[in-house]
Amino acid sequence: MSFIGAPYPIVKNPKGFLASQSGLEQIKSDLLCLLLTSPGERIMLPTFGTPLRELAFEQNDALVIEKAREMIVSAIETWEPRITVSEININNGPGNLTLNSSDLRQDVDHILSIQIKFFDPEEIQEVEELVFELPLDNQGT
SS3 80: coil
pLDDT digits (tens, 9 = 90+) for 2-57: 677 777 778 888 888 888 888 788 889 999 999 999 999 999 999 999 999 999 88
CATH assignment at residue 81: 3.10.450.40
Structural domain range at position 99: 4-140
- Top pLDDT among 3 and 106 is at 3
CB 4 within 8 A of CB 16: no
Distance between CA atoms of 138 and 141, rounded to whole angstroms?
Answer: 5
* Segments of 6-135 assigned E as strands: 21-22, 84-92, 111-119, 127-135
- pTM score of the predicted model: 0.79
- Determine the pLDDT at residue 10: 81
Predicted confidence band of residue 123 (pLDDT cuts 50, 70, 90): confident
Contact yes or no for 127/86 (Cβ under 8 A): yes
> If residue 66 lies in a helix (H) or strand (E), which one and from where to where?
helix 62-79
Biggest CA-to-CA distance, the chain: 48
How many Å is the Cα radius of gyration of the chain? 16
| Domain count of the fold of the chain | 1
